[in-house]
Structure 1
Amino acid sequence: MEGQMDDQRQRAALWFRELRDRIVSAFEGLEDRGPGDGPVGRFVVTPTQRGEDGGGGLMSVMRGGRVFEKVGVNWSEVHGTLAPKAQAAMAARGVPGMDSDPRFWASGISLVAHMQNPHAPAVHMNTRMFWTPGTWWFGGGADLNPCIEYPADIDHFHATLRDACARHDADYYDRFKAWADEYFFVPHRGRARGVGGIFYDDLNSGDWNADFAFTREVGQAFLPAFLPLAEARMAQGWTEEDRDVQLVHRGLYAEYNLVYDRGTKFGLETGHNADAVLMSLPPVAKWP
């Protein structure tokens, strides 16, 4: 059984790495088609290491491109022993065996894109697998964060995710959309971070292959959901007022990620590279 799980973990880590490579290539291709005659953006790739325990990953960040003002596409595969605070949080969530055995393994991809053009929506996506000696689960999702909302863009993004969910379970989209609406809410502002998408965590149906297939589907749906929106909006004219709206919205995004985001907290508490954990923060933001 342990050997089977080792194989499954390897399959998951390889898939997340493949998805990372695919998205990096697509984003650099979009930069090649971007407007203007400024520098074409390219990712700078930096290996990362997780503290004194095991594993690491790749931090891939592009800054100052024609289309992307800042975008990060990170992949990681880490393992070791959870610190007491993180172990206690896992135990409080009811993770089997976590009260007595703090070992863990995790792999995934995490992406956040902040765009040059205020009409082009920011976006977030991640998928991951987590293992402890007592259990395993998948999590992830994608959500759209436009500062200037276009109903057609929102409909396309959600429809693509809805179709991806429907290929696996008729209830997944409604369940995971509602979860995203709750999870990406900013309580101290009384509003959502963006226009939602899907979010899921602790996915363990008992059928590893089925849950892995769904997680791959979510990853595969990302580019068809987002890329047409970025391409359609990247050359649209904008004003300084539009830019101001964008920067204020980025402030909201930063507040959420620093105060509430579970992935940010986990990454910092488990000793992963801080720059990789915080790559989601926008390059420039402002507050009213």
Structure 2
Amino acid sequence: MRYTLFVQPIDYLVIGHVTQDLTPNGPVLGGTAAYAALTARAMGLRVGVVTSCHPETDLSLLSEVQVMAWPADHTTTFENLPGVHGREQILHHVAAPLQLNMIPEAWRKTPIVHLAPVAQEVDPKLVRSFPESFIGLTPQGWLRAWDSRGRVHFTEWPEARYVLEAANAAVLSVEDVAGNEIIIEEMLASIRVLVVTEGAAGARLYWNGDLRYFRPPMVQEVDPTGAGDVFAAAFFIRLHQTHDPWEAARYATQLAAISVTRPGLLGVPTPAEAQEKLIEIIP
């Protein structure tokens, strides 16, 4: 386990569990926190992660970011299995919950804060703990529950209005709400900028009553894991830089398309790719 002993200033703070994802090829590091952190680093930002995991979890892939990893009995562990109605997700373990007292004082005025729960681990009150920061949300972990066997399913999000009203933007997938468009409409009443990703179909962006669709370029998909997390980090950063949600969505769509062409965290865009996609080429 690697801890950040000397906390340095950062530009982008992501709060959420790194995960251990069980695959046919063995366990791999995952989680929104990992994908978002590496995307932000590729975009040239100084990045910090506040997470919790087992002390023996290999975080070497995050060597270029500062990690404040609080010890837990287990690392949050997911397994995806084929099911009758599509993918069945199993949650085997959950690490420690993440609260304000776990965040270094030096990081509490970070320009961009990304709340990234994957298993109900991020305290919803954190959304109101960074009054000087841009707050981006990927609320999938607040929309998940699991039964006694660990089978993950959709659940209502009672704090939705409280959290969304205090955030600058949110990104979620249509799967996160089990395809329920009524829930999306309800969310729109509480936040000005909302993106709904739709896998290979791209994303739709709601902004102040307007709606636009963003279609990704044609690519050969190898692994879609983490594409939504790459999109979210790129979107939040570009929105903070430009104050233009349309441009942020265009850019994020390009980086997310890159991410599906390589497996796992290898799909995170390189600094060269992140720089290249800043310029839109119109045929």
Q: Scaled by the length of structure 2, what TM-score is found?
A: 0.32
Q: Scaled by the length of structure 1, what TM-score is found?
A: 0.32
Q: Which structure dedicates a bigger proportion of its chain to helix?
A: 1
User: Larger C-alpha radius of gyration, 1 or 2?
Assistant: 1
